[in-house]
Chain A
Amino acid sequence: MKMKPFIKQISYWLGILACSWTMYSCSESFLDVPPQNEQTPEDKLSTNEAAAQVVNAIYNKLLDWNQHTFAWIGITSITSDDADKGSVPGDTGTDKNLLDNFTFSVDAVSFNEVWVANYQGIARANQALKVIPDFTIEERVKNRLMGEARFLRAYFYFNLVRSFGGVPLIEKIPDPTNTQELEQARTRASKEQIYQLIINDLQFAIENLYPKSELGPEDVGRATVGAAKTFLAKVNMYLNNWSEVSRLTNEVISSGEYALVDDYATIWREVGENSVESIFEVQGRGDTPNKGLQGYTATQGVRGQFGWGFNTPTEDLANTYEVGDTRKEATIIFPGETLWDGVEIITDVPNPYYNQKAYISRVQETFNGNDWESNKNLRVFRFAEVLLMNAEAANELGMDALTSLNLVRDRAKLAPVNETDPNKLRKIIWHERRVELAFEHDRFFDLVRQGRAGEVLRAHGKNFVDGKHELFPIPQSQINLSEGKLLQNPGY
């Protein structure tokens, strides 16, 4: 019986008829058209599924073009001695040529992109942290979700603090109409305050996240206690808290959850996704509907064959590998070579090398024709770095560094190092980091951390100015928007 809807229709029309001639009291309901394509906060938050969704939305931010792609590649990699701008001279990638040779100004768009992206991520994390406590779900899951939000918030702040130093500290979404709140939100916190927030967030994450082995198969890729410990170790490394680095890396190593994979080259392939070596990866989906790192493989693909050809390995990097280091072939695409999947790289290309870690196979990996959002995962933390941090901390603390270091070298088919002089060993570990982690968005920040960015980069022909270029400029547009509350970094 379709009687009810029919009666409903009739009364609706009668209602309108009545409304037409009486004044607007009842036309109010006629005019209430609720949103239909996006849910109101009340409706959305009334279901418990939303708790996971607000956190998933933070992960989703990791895929955005402005988060990990062109601008991030520019400021973390093209700035370094590992990578050239690539592509052809006329194609500047807006400002990538300026990043390459340190001639950028406060207006360079890449800085603004990175600034904007990470604050967008922070806002999503803060949004999640605001609403999750009100859900009635299992306490352990709720705390895990809170832990994930704080882990990710720490990640966004870590990107900011390494790039810009102290930045505005936003722990909840500011109210633009509250002038006091707004003014405070526009003022830079100190670098120490930001690091403290990161440490607090990660401490919370360590206490509340699940170990990798306890995540269900559908949740692989969520932040884990191992990821939080690795991240916190890395943060402490930037603060030279070597004993913390050592403690945390030892905990990760002894957790038994992680190990090195045998073949270094497989790490960046589909078969290497979320492997035993993986600690935290941004997950890309190359199946319909695609949810991949936007443009990550396309911008770095072999120009003329797969992509734009930006962020290409330097001659210096190619020459820095020891003879027999299997990581060289795994990291660099050479024109004319035949890759592991049988694809032959064309020779008529404008650049001598390309980044193999950003390569996806169209023939042997998941690929549905969409090279903008591909299957490629971004490896953020992996076990090899834990070992290298462990080695570096041990060296600084006068403990055994060689065991961890040589595990990494052994996997790369290199002979063990026997060096015991801490100063020489430090250089060896730094070099090992360079070749192990090339094109993993680490090199520039690592050089700054090591206090030798100027020395190395100037030797590489870049116009690096000490005391200035260790930090990037606060984007001028953001300074303008803050009505001068944001103060610029020294030298700019």
Chain B
Amino acid sequence: MKRRIFTLIALLWFTVSYAQQETISGVVKSAGDQAPIPGANVLVKNSQQGTVTDIEGKFSLLARQGDVLTVSFVGMRTQEITLNGQSSLEILLEVDLQQLEEVIVVGYGTQRKSDVTGSISGISGTELLKQPALTPTQAMQGKLTGVQIVNSGGPGENPMVRVRGVGTILGGADPLYVVDGIITNDIRNINTSDIVSIDVLKDASSASIYGVRGANGVILITTKAGQKGKMNINYDGFIGVKTIASKVDMADSRLFIDYANEALSYDNQPPAFDDADAQVNTDWLDAVTRTALTQSHNLSVKGGNDKATYYASLGYYGEEGILKNNDYERINFRLNNTFQLTKNIKLGNVLGLSHFVGNNIPFSVFTAAYKAAPTVPVKDAEGNYGFTSQNNVGNPVATIDHTHDRSWGDRMQGSLFAEVTFLKDFQFRTSFGLDAIRNKGRIYVPVYRISDTQKNEISVLTLKRNNYNNWVWDNTLTYSKNFGNRHSLKVMAGTTAQSNKNDEFEASRQNVPAQERYWNLSLGDEASATNNSKTFENKINSYIGRLNYSFADRYLLTVTARYDGSSKFPKNNRWVLFPSVGLGWRLSEEPFMQDIDWLDNLKVRGSWGKIGNDNIDSDAFLLTFVSGLDYAFAGGSTLQQGATIVDIKDLNLLWETTYETDLGVEFSMFNGRITGEIDYYHKRTKDVLMPAPLDAIFGDRDNSFITNKADILNEGLEFALNWRQSAPSGFNYSVGVNLTYNKNKLEDIKGATPIISGSLGNGQVTTRTDVGQPIGSFWLWETDGIFQSQDEINAYVNEEGGLIQPDAKPGDFRLKDINKDGIIDVADRSFSGSYQPEFYFGFVGSISYKNFDLSIDTYGNLGNKVYNGKKAQRFGNENIEADLAGRWNTTTPSNSIPRASNDVPLATTYFLESGDFFRINNITLGYTMPASLSEKIHVGNLRVYASAQNPVIFKDFSGFTPELPGDTRNAGIELNAYPTSSTYLLGLNIGF
């Protein structure tokens, strides 16, 4: 058997390499000044064989007669030369706005980038692959303006993505994802290796084609297709290790004991710890974390002919968390085909299958590891888990060991499409997409007893099943026509319908045996069975239209409209039109600019449009009977159903509407060496959902009802500049910078209730969403030094001579009496900053010299605040950070660190820290084997690389990570957050 496979492989090799190859040499020059072009790429088309020109612009490579050579260089128009007997070539490359000819996906169609009048940022699949991660969005961080990515460090976690600021409070703030036309909100099933490009529709003019779902921005993902030519096999993969990027220096046992006993002494309590406790000194963070393995392997094959093309791939992604027992694995399969049935009819499909398994550990383990007393051993001499009854922190290692929480999922996402061209200028396209997700969850809580408070007395097995079925059917008719040679017109009209169905099922039983193989409900106690199911459904039907007109490639007009009907809104209120208009002027095409040689392109553009956000629960406007309000009569033995109306609702609820104006400039100079784009946007969202308060007399369940109340303004500037240069020595480099400024403000709430949020779970809240402030602003008492003595407390008096802080003790914070009413109360809280950065930016750079390439990506943000929630969430006798050695006490006064205390700390500015950070996201060093060598081993191309992800971070924040995703009101709080990790990996890319 083995031999046969070997023979087969040998045959394959033979086939691939069988053909008469000869050495082709040549020189590449610039058509303008006849100067040689070093560093130009010369490739044998569809083979991955190729080389790079030397200092004199010369090249040589092996090819066959009839092969097509592709010669490309930055800023030049790519040329294809079919070998027709020549063995020596002189190739003249023309200067071209190659950059501008780029075609981008705009939603229900494509457009030349040069014709675009809206603001769209794009990134190529190659660029995404540089930062290995679960989702392509993680790899987009720092690369695009107007797109803020906040990563969670946990394996299998979705990053938080905000396009041009936060434009909602209670609705979903995530962008809309469109994968090959299929609308979704989760792209964790997409293998980054399968992606050609991602385009982000940022302004209303480009996003209005997605109407009521476009307001948070739209991320369009296009997966790879096959292409005509020989079969092409590619492998790329990497393997690496991850470690925690920054640790927090915690107190050792000695310091902890001193602090805890000192805190108790202020409450006249006896010491809880003695010197014997200092014999143990556990580093709990070490105990719960590990050096983790991460790897990815992808194999793809593509090819095709005039009748059909194919792209197929198989991928594996495996990521261990730095948290022990926490991991995520995914397998992907993709098959994308096109079939040219007749000259006028083309059929095609995209199909992605994926499967994942995740082992989940609660992130609160990180908080527990932070708080656990170092005097407690992980396990004692007898092998029992250590604990102390002096605080309420459970043994975090025991928590990990007793957590059995696994999730699985299968997903099929794909579409079939047909394109018919007729009457020369018309194209009809119909596409039917399906997205089916089958997720499972299993949680087993075993019986255990670590201590009186960390225990579980009866085992429970819970199984979950979630099914999502989503179809979307798009029909578009496009008419494109050039009139004369100056007028160009493209009109698209279409319909789309979409249905989302989702059902959830959950069941549990107690006393299921502890061995994993028995984790079936049938083995549990029948009397303890619980089960529950729910279904959700929403539908959208829409009519779309777009008109593109350009005159002489100079004056550009785009008019877009979408008429959306959504089942999420009341019948009399469910249809709405989202129009937009965009104008562009390519000054560089004007006759009067033709003399400016160095200017390749200059375009100014402006747009206005309306977009919506319908990301709310389906029944939000309906009065319904709530079931489950049951009551068990006869001492609990006869459970009877109860149901009633408990919520007051707004029966005329509307979507949120964003009106956005965008002004932009795009330019390209010196043969594309310098390119740049600057945008200003003004994005006002109206009818934003907020809870309006209700007096308790209405008896509403949560004393409020959701209604369209608030106005939000996001205003910002985006700036991107890139420079690329190829030097004669074969030394190429490029640098780029992008910067986004965004100002978020809640402008009006029209009597709605400001939302107080950011709960730490110990009675303290930290954020308030209110007029005049960014959404989710920190709202805290401001500290003003520390009372050094009782005299200072006695001297802090109001006008009547009463003590402002009568309960304070020396060593406590003096709090500012902001409203000067002589007492410290809730009215003295003030806004202290927001988790939303004013600026976020990235610097990217790359150098290549001959066969080596080096690139660096960085990311940072400025002007935001983060709250050290884990430090603030005290109940008593938790561990402390090492710098609390410098705390206030009578012998060593301090004016910055308060006395030891076991009181629940107030939400003060003491716990608020700068969120500014700057991080090297990625450094990669690669080596590509010279063609002469790779040919010898029958390989088209071979590149090896080493990458360091997040190797260096500069931050002010003392915690584990300044990247703290959360919902609109609760982000920026480090509590149960997954620390950022650094990854070091080796990768291989090989093509046949």
Instruction: Determine if A340 is an interface residue (Cβ-Cβ < 8 Å).
Output: no
Question: Quick one: closest A residue to B499, CB to CB?
Answer: A30
Instruction: Determine if A270 is an interface residue (Cβ-Cβ < 8 Å).
Output: yes
Instruction: Determine if A222 is an interface residue (Cβ-Cβ < 8 Å).
Output: yes
Report Cα–Cα, A286/B753, bound state, in Å.
38
Instruction: Determine if B858 is an interface residue (Cβ-Cβ < 8 Å).
Output: no
The residue among B452, B453, B625, B646 with the most chain A CB atoms within 10 A of its own CB is B625
In whole Å, how far is A149's beta carbon from the nearest beta carbon of chain B?
11
Q: Which of B539, B626, B636 contacts A283 (CB 8 A)?
A: B636
Which of A115-123, A226-234, A434-442 lines the interface with chain B? A115-123
Report Cα–Cα, A62/B701, bound state, in Å.
14
A119-B699, A288-B527, A289-B639 known; A59+B631 contact, CB < 8 A: yes
Please name all residues of chain A whose beta carbon is closer than 8 Å to the beta carbon of B389 when the two chains form the complex: 304, 348
Instruction: Determine if A250 is an interface residue (Cβ-Cβ < 8 Å).
Output: no
Instruction: Determine if A467 is an interface residue (Cβ-Cβ < 8 Å).
Output: no
Q: Flag if B541 contacts A27 (CB, 8 Å).
A: yes
Q: Flag if B630 contacts A291 (CB, 8 Å).
A: yes
Report Cα–Cα, A366/B619, bound state, in Å.
38
Q: Flag if B574 contacts A31 (CB, 8 Å).
A: yes
Mark B689-711 against chain A: 1 for CB-CB distance below 8 A, else 0: 00001111111110100000000
Which of B185-193, B483-491, B565-573 lines the interface with chain A? B565-573
Q: Flag if B497 contacts A36 (CB, 8 Å).
A: no
Report Cα–Cα, A389/B456, bound state, in Å.
45
Q: Flag if B643 contacts A39 (CB, 8 Å).
A: yes
Instruction: Determine if B530 is an interface residue (Cβ-Cβ < 8 Å).
Output: yes
Instruction: Determine if A305 is an interface residue (Cβ-Cβ < 8 Å).
Output: yes
Report Cα–Cα, A220/B631, bound state, in Å.
11
Please name all residues of chain A whose beta carbon is closer than 8 Å to the beta carbon of B643 when the two chains form the complex: 39, 44, 50, 53-54, 56-57
Please name all residues of chain A whose beta carbon is closer than 8 Å to the beta carbon of B699 when the two chains form the complex: 119-124, 126, 170, 173
Report Cα–Cα, A21/B430, bound state, in Å.
13
A90-B902, A123-B699, A273-B635 known; A40+B622 contact, CB < 8 A: yes
Report Cα–Cα, A369/B693, bound state, in Å.
37
Instruction: Determine if B537 is an interface residue (Cβ-Cβ < 8 Å).
Output: yes
Report Cα–Cα, A37/B505, bound state, in Å.
12
In whole Å, how far is B371's beta carbon from the nearest beta carbon of chain A?
15
Instruction: Determine if A107 is an interface residue (Cβ-Cβ < 8 Å).
Output: yes
Instruction: Determine if A489 is an interface residue (Cβ-Cβ < 8 Å).
Output: no
Q: Flag if B529 contacts A288 (CB, 8 Å).
A: yes
Please name all residues of chain A whose beta carbon is closer than 8 Å to the beta carbon of B648 when the two chains form the complex: 176
In whole Å, how far is A110's beta carbon from the nearest beta carbon of chain B?
13
Please name all residues of chain B whose beta carbon is closer than 8 Å to the beta carbon of A123 when the two chains form the complex: 646, 698-700
Q: Flag if B567 contacts A368 (CB, 8 Å).
A: no
Please name all residues of chain A whose beta carbon is closer than 8 Å to the beta carbon of B537 when the two chains form the complex: 33, 36
Please name all residues of chain A whose beta carbon is closer than 8 Å to the beta carbon of B618 when the two chains form the complex: 33, 35
The residue among A61, A107, A185, A285 with the most chain B CB atoms within 10 A of its own CB is A285
Residues of A325-373 contacting chain B, CB below 8 A:
346, 348, 362, 366-369
Instruction: Determine if A214 is an interface residue (Cβ-Cβ < 8 Å).
Output: no
In whole Å, how far is A155's beta carbon from the nearest beta carbon of chain B?
14
Please name all residues of chain B whose beta carbon is closer than 8 Å to the beta carbon of A203 when the two chains form the complex: none
Q: Flag if A283 contacts B642 (CB, 8 Å).
A: no
Q: Which of B475, B622, B636, B642 contacts A366 (CB 8 A)?
A: B636
Instruction: Determine if A138 is an interface residue (Cβ-Cβ < 8 Å).
Output: no
Instruction: Determine if B457 is an interface residue (Cβ-Cβ < 8 Å).
Output: yes
Mark B635-647 against chain A: 1 for CB-CB distance below 8 A, else 0: 1111111111110
Q: Flag if A124 contacts B646 (CB, 8 Å).
A: yes
Instruction: Determine if A92 is an interface residue (Cβ-Cβ < 8 Å).
Output: yes
Report Cα–Cα, A88/B693, bound state, in Å.
35
In whole Å, how far is B266's beta carbon from the nearest beta carbon of chain A?
10
Residues of B359-390 contacting chain A, CB below 8 A:
389
Please name all residues of chain A whose beta carbon is closer than 8 Å to the beta carbon of B458 when the two chains form the complex: 368-369
The residue among B510, B535, B696, B703 with the most chain A CB atoms within 10 A of its own CB is B696
Instruction: Determine if B624 is an interface residue (Cβ-Cβ < 8 Å).
Output: yes
Instruction: Determine if A375 is an interface residue (Cβ-Cβ < 8 Å).
Output: yes
Q: Which of A39, A116, A222, A475 contacts B633 (CB 8 A)?
A: A222
Mark A184-201 against chain B: 1 for CB-CB distance below 8 A, else 0: 011000000000000000
Report Cα–Cα, A220/B903, bound state, in Å.
46
Question: Quick one: closest B residue to A286, CB to CB?
Answer: B636
In whole Å, how far is B270's beta carbon from the nearest beta carbon of chain A?
11
Please name all residues of chain A whose beta carbon is closer than 8 Å to the beta carbon of B700 when the two chains form the complex: 120, 123
Q: Flag if B619 contacts A368 (CB, 8 Å).
A: no
Instruction: Determine if A266 is an interface residue (Cβ-Cβ < 8 Å).
Output: no
Residues of A262-294 contacting chain B, CB below 8 A:
270, 273-274, 281, 283-289, 291-292
Please name all residues of chain B whose beta carbon is closer than 8 Å to the beta carbon of A40 when the two chains form the complex: 622-625
Q: Flag if B635 contacts A289 (CB, 8 Å).
A: no
Q: Flag if A56 contacts B629 (CB, 8 Å).
A: yes
Please name all residues of chain A whose beta carbon is closer than 8 Å to the beta carbon of B695 when the two chains form the complex: 185-186, 478, 481-482
Residues of B460-504 contacting chain A, CB below 8 A:
460, 473, 475, 495, 497
Please name all residues of chain A whose beta carbon is closer than 8 Å to the beta carbon of B634 when the two chains form the complex: 217-221, 274, 283
Report Cα–Cα, A144/B137, bound state, in Å.
62
Please name all residues of chain A whose beta carbon is closer than 8 Å to the beta carbon of B904 when the two chains form the complex: 90-92
In whole Å, how far is A439's beta carbon from the nearest beta carbon of chain B?
20
In whole Å, how far is A47's beta carbon from the nearest beta carbon of chain B?
11
Residue numbers of A with Cβ under 8 A of B are 16, 19-21, 23-24, 27-28, 30-33, 35-41, 44, 49-50, 52-63, 88-92, 94, 105, 107, 112, 115-116, 119-124, 126-128, 168, 170, 173-174, 176, 185-186, 217-222, 270, 273-274, 281, 283-289, 291-292, 304-306, 346, 348, 362, 366-369, 375, 377, 475, 478, 481-482
Contacts A37-B534, A286-B636 aside, 7 further interface pairs with beta carbons under 8 A come to: A31-B539, A35-B618, A39-B627, A119-B696, A127-B644, A127-B645, A221-B634
Q: Which 8 A-B pairs have the closest CB atoms?
A: A123-B699, A285-B636, A56-B642, A369-B458, A285-B632, A38-B624, A57-B642, A57-B644
Can you list 12 pairs linking A and B with CB atoms under 8 Å apart?
Answer: A27-B497, A32-B571, A50-B625, A53-B642, A54-B643, A54-B644, A58-B644, A60-B642, A120-B646, A176-B648, A283-B631, A305-B452
